[in-house]
Chain A
Amino acid sequence: MRTSSKWRLPLLATAALAAGAALGGGTLALWNGTAGGSAATIVAGDLAIASSDLAWEETSPDVASPQTGTFLVRQGDTAAASFPFHTVLDGDNLAANIGVAWNTAPSLPAGVTGTYVVLDPDENTVASGVLGADDAALARVTTGGDYVLRVTLDFAGLSDRFGAGSAVQTADLGSFDVTLTQIRSGEGFE
């Protein structure tokens, strides 16, 4: 049957629009849906990160009763700050990078050093880094779960303060974001 000349141009334009969109947006299906069953239900995926409360912990090896919560540190102490976060990676063929980005740089007193690691839900170290150094690809993850970014501070070289009026030495970890960003590289994406 011959197409009416009145509809020929709109049909061609629509086809061109669809072809262009398909060419550019072909990856949408990677994370966005799975078809299941005869009813052809489309299930949306999800990628998200949520935080829990910061927890400080005294880790000084010479202390029999370590402190938790907010406590006062002194020369020779070590302490850990745990920043728990929960990741969600729902969807087929979905991978993401855990990253860290500092909005405000950390500030440590003289004689204090700090590092951090990222622990997976099994408490295995999956990444480590330097405080204040952005890293968008700390660890590649393909499953969600409870992770922890744990900062360890060593106060071995902290000078002693004398008197209540002396300047308080504060180990400020700054302000930073833990990011979860979808990626399409690595295993399963070559």
Chain B
Amino acid sequence: MNRTHAVRDTAVIGIAATIGLALGVGGITAAYWSDEVGFTGEISSGYEYFAAGRVDATTPADSAHSATVTIGAAEAALLIDDGRLAIPMQTDSLSQGNKGLRYTVSPPSSWGTGIFGSADVAVFPVTAAADCTVDASVPASPSHASTPVTADYSTSTTPTTEYWCLIATLDGLPDEGGYKNTVTATAKDPSQRDVSANDTWSANVTSALDPADESNHVISFTYETFRPGE
């Protein structure tokens, strides 16, 4: 074998060994099996809702969880005119998931010294708005709390509606009334006989209370949510 052949043989054998090694290394890489599976997942929250107000005119609760109904001059005027007044009110409640919703009704601690302050005022629940009339019977000790939504799981999007009633009865105003006076005068006539005469006058005293001056009275509806067992 001459030198040229020796170089050629060495090169061929070297290349073959290199290719073989490369294939082998490639075999190692392929030998590490792997497999995978893909996943995704998400879950979303439910919500709550509460509103209160006049019937069919509720307003959503504010960030303090309260909605209010205001009784003022317009209602005082009606009360003066009619002597009795019934105002139906409405609440709408909803709470999804495992949270219930309850609320309390807080009439003013004082109805003031105006027209409503002179009336008998009661706030109590009624089954339907139509049940709130001046002739409705007022419960002796009406509850001012309600739990329209339990903490049982719910996906409802329809609020639970409840009704409340304010009845005011005005049996006279404190500065209202009448005044009557009879005056009798006695004297002797020219013949020295006793004579007398009398006269009567009277006046109706009307109230100085003006419905337009009635201050606003706020009835608050305040809700909270609660979990099962709370």
Is there contact, CB below 8 Å, between A182 and B32? yes
Interface string of A139-181 (1 = CB under 8 A from B): 0000000000101010100101111101011111111111111
Known: A153-B43, A168-B44. A175 touches B20 (CB 8 A): no
Is B13 located at the chain interface by the 8 A CB criterion?
yes
Q: Which of B12, B40, B60 contacts A162 (CB 8 A)?
A: B60
Interface string of B43-69 (1 = CB under 8 A from A): 111111100000000001100000000
Give residues of chain B (206-230) contacting chain A, Cβ–Cβ below 8 Å.
225, 227-229
Is A49 located at the chain interface by the 8 A CB criterion?
yes
Which A residue's beta carbon lies closest to that of B9?
Answer: A9
A contact patch SS: mixed
CB distance from A43 to the nearest CB of B (A): 15
- On chain B, the residues within 8 Å of A171 by CB distance are 42-44
Is there contact, CB below 8 Å, between A179 and B47? no
Which B residue's beta carbon lies closest to that of A27?
Answer: B31
Is there contact, CB below 8 Å, between B17 and A16? yes
Distance between Cα atoms of A32 and B157 in the complex (Å): 59
Is there contact, CB below 8 Å, between B36 and A62? no
Q: What is the total of A-B residue contacts with beta carbons within 8 Å?
A: 215
Q: Which of A20, A83, A177 contacts B36 (CB 8 A)?
A: A177
Give residues of chain A (70-94) contacting chain B, Cβ–Cβ below 8 Å.
70-77, 79, 81, 83, 85
- On chain B, the residues within 8 Å of A24 by CB distance are 20-28
**How many A residues face the partner with a CB closer than 8 A?**
79
- On chain A, the residues within 8 Å of B48 by CB distance are 160-162
Is there contact, CB below 8 Å, between A164 and B24? no
Give residues of chain A (1-45) contacting chain B, Cβ–Cβ below 8 Å.
9, 12-14, 16-28, 30-32
Q: Which of A20, A65, A73 contacts B17 (CB 8 A)?
A: A20
- On chain A, the residues within 8 Å of B39 by CB distance are 51, 54, 83, 149, 173, 175-178
- On chain B, the residues within 8 Å of A184 by CB distance are 32
Is there contact, CB below 8 Å, between B31 and A25? yes
CB distance from A72 to the nearest CB of B (A): 3
Is there contact, CB below 8 Å, between B97 and A72? yes
- On chain B, the residues within 8 Å of A160 by CB distance are 47-48, 99, 225
Distance between Cα atoms of A25 and B13 in the complex (Å): 19
CB distance from A85 to the nearest CB of B (A): 5
Known: A12-B13, A70-B43. A25 touches B27 (CB 8 A): yes
Distance between Cα atoms of A60 and B97 in the complex (Å): 11
- On chain A, the residues within 8 Å of B21 by CB distance are 20-21, 23-24
Is there contact, CB below 8 Å, between B22 and A20? yes
Interchain Cβ contacts under 8 Å between A and B, 29 examples? A9-B8, A21-B23, A23-B21, A24-B20, A24-B21, A25-B31, A30-B31, A54-B41, A62-B98, A63-B98, A63-B228, A64-B228, A65-B152, A65-B153, A67-B153, A71-B153, A79-B43, A161-B45, A163-B60, A164-B157, A168-B44, A169-B45, A170-B42, A174-B40, A178-B36, A178-B39, A179-B34, A181-B32, A182-B32
**3 shortest interchain CB distances as A-B pairs:** A24-B24, A20-B20, A25-B27
